[in-house]
Amino acid sequence: MKTESDAAREGTITGRVEKVASDEGIEAKILSERVAAGSVVIMHRGKVAIGIGQGLRTKVNVNIGTSPACCNPDEEVEKARIAERYGADTISDLSMAGDISATRKRISAATSLPLTTVPLYQTVAETGLDNLTCRDFIRTIRMQAKEGISSLVLHMVSRTILKHIQESPRVLGIVSKGGSMMAAHMILGKCENPYLECFEDILSITKKHDIVISLGNTMRSGCISDARDRLHAEEMRANITLADRAHEEGVQVIIEGVGGHVHAGRISRYIRDYKRKMPYPLFVAGPLPTDIAMGYDHIAGCVGASLASGAGADYLCYLTPAEHIGLPTRDEVKEGLIAFRIAAHIGDTIKYGSIKKDEAVARRRAELDWKGQADLALDPERICQENPQGTPCSMCGPFCAIRIMKEFCNTRTP
């Protein structure tokens, strides 16, 4: 199969590019040129195609999946439905317990959104940490590719970076689950990262199925005092080199960076620095600008993600109120998703100055059109629950400033 990248480089405008261009309101030719340059990827599954990258609306990913401490596939399938219903752009299935393949198939059937996996999770869950080989990883990737996943995450930590982490003064060393598992495997086996050894095989599978590679942010900071260090710089350099190789091969690629916990004063600078150094779409987990918001990390994350997307991040991975506490409930998935949709929207108002939607809400509010205002909200259902009768906002009662303006100031001469 020709990848979207191959087609774009040949000058062919594919049906998916046309669809994404129409959804985003840009010219298909311009979009195709960006796909060819690697600054946009088209993530697809079935009839759904989502564009991520330069000049496009900021996208939001929702993580779901079973964990050994909490394995309820029905719940995870329901969370996938909730993610689609409340506007997620993509879903990542991070399942590590139960029948992982069966759960993924159920999630896949329950939603039409592009689906990402972390092949390391299934491989470790089914084979254990110590006896893994390149062949185990390739087998998982091939199986998931044949099932029709849209994207996969690779944790590419090298032995050199691993040595430096052991000398690092970080409070929290590696806080990426996949990154820490890969590091443990490399220490146990005294080996190089198997993904680095079989990267060319991975490229050949991902090219065959046009799967987007997402190069993981293993070295993201676990607290804001773990400021950017040489580990970040080394990972960024290594990931850019791997992304260049994938792009050269016609494989679509995203880089994950500036995720985790990052001081608010540094987020924008770090994002701009990343974007200056590479053309690929930047995927950010969070970031959390404070360590103290447990229980409300979706709110802290919304602040960090607004700054990140405003500075140029293309793709956000949501956080829920359950971050650092446990597996999120269905309600928490929804809360986290809405928080990150707000962040993506704020980011777009900064990036593109796009305030049309905000203005439309404001005009309805000025008209005291409470229902019309609710219809344009990110979560109209919530407004309906809080105000089932659709009555006017009651906060100021008869002293509603908007009503006073409308009745007195806007119609009478002072």
| Binding footprint of ligand SF4 on the chain (CB under 6 A) | 393, 395-396, 400-402
Measured from the CB atom, the residue of 292 and 401 that comes closer to ligand SF4 is 401
CB of 365 to ligand SF4, least distance (A): 7
We find the least distance from the C-beta atom of residue 400 to ligand SF4, in angstroms, to be: 3
Residue (13 or 400) nearer to ligand SF4, CB: 400
* Angstrom distance (rounded) from CA 151 to CA 199: 15
Question: Whose Cβ is closer to ligand SF4: residue 98's or residue 392's?
Answer: 392
In the bound state with ligand SF4, the residue whose beta carbon lies nearer, of 68 and 388, is: 388
Give min distance, CB of 398 to ligand SF4, in A.
9
CB of 401 to ligand SF4, least distance (A): 4
Please say which residue, 172 or 400, places its beta carbon nearer to ligand SF4: 400
- Closest contact distance (angstroms) between CB of 361 and ligand SF4 is 12
**CB-count burial class (<10 Å; 0-12, 13-18, 19+) for 228:** middle
Q: Are 207 and 196 in contact (CB under 8 A)?
A: no
Residue (388 or 397) nearer to ligand SF4, CB: 397
Q: Which is nearer to ligand SF4, 70 or 396 (CB)?
A: 396
- Minimum distance of ligand SF4 from residue 369's CB (angstroms): 11
User: Residue 370 CB, nearest distance to ligand SF4 (Å)?
Assistant: 9
